[in-house]
Structure 1
Amino acid sequence: MNKAITSFWKRLFFRYDVSRMREAVVDYLTAEGIQTEVKDGMIRVLFEDYYYNVEFDLDGEYPRCDISFRMKDEKYEKLDLSRKTFIADKVNTDEDYLSTLKAFGDVIIVDAHFYFVDRKMLLSLFYEYFVDVKDAVDDMCDLLQNELSGKEEKRPIGFTASPVPSSKEEAKVVACNKQTE
């Protein structure tokens, strides 16, 4: 009887105990073979050569888990603001991400957050949101690499129309259309 009551109380108070939340996430990631460390109340996750931060916020009605990725790079700082905005807009609009990419003058941030009520919900949502943040970071890194290598996208977002053909090309297209009719 005592064990049943203790387990009930532990489950009831999970959402108010940050150390147990951290422990649950660290244990899960460690079991998956991912390197983690708790530093200054934040979980730092090293995954595929990138660091991600995981924090918990208990100020609201439900606990909130924040997953974020920050990158500061000298080459990124030298890009024009329009190119930084292009990267953020492209990542944010190309896919249905749960996370958001924010481009600033010297840093890029990808972040996501979710609310939970118990350990099971925390771990299932953590997996889903962490994968989402990782995918957004991968897309952002690909776009950033293209920008830094000099490959420029000439068309703004949303405009995929081909350039206006010259009069000779129009004549060929009209002639081809007439032959097929």
Structure 2
Amino acid sequence: MSVRLSPGDPAPDFTLAAADGGSVSLADLRGQRVIVYFYPAASTPGCTKEACDFRDSLASLQGAGYAVVGISPDPIPKIVRFIEAEALTFPLASDPDKAVATAYGAYGEKKLYGKVVTGIIRSTFVIDAEGLIEVAQYNVRATGHVAKLRRDLGIDGIDAA
């Protein structure tokens, strides 16, 4: 079993290649609250639903002071196609060796269709402005997860389309 992070733990720092050709670094986001979520694979039904929910909630999340970053092991070209197909408006980064996912406890054994497999564990973390974990959620469901996260964080309302 991989390590599991808890509130109060330091968030593991990372710098990963981003779909926009640059990079995403947790250190560059210090001073603001950040939602980092790990998803198994771009353009799959669950990951698409989750990404679109983050996209549709982005204005209210940003209005409440949160940045959003999605991380998967997908190669950059696949992530770029995903962003274009779904009109995603927040950074997605590539973790091909799964080192960052492992550091967050978001890579390891999980159940998939009744079988135990090793892979990305759909997980979400809220990191405070000082770089400490505020919320660590593992094995989240793609559908309804963002709405529940917003409720948990006290972010009300629904963004206008």
TM-score norm. by structure 1 comes to 0.30
Whose strand proportion is higher, 1 or 2?
2
- Structure number having the greater helix percentage: 1
Larger-gyration structure (1/2): 1
Q: Which structure exhibits the higher relative contact order, with contacts defined as CA atoms closer than 8 Å and separated by 6 or more residues?
A: 2
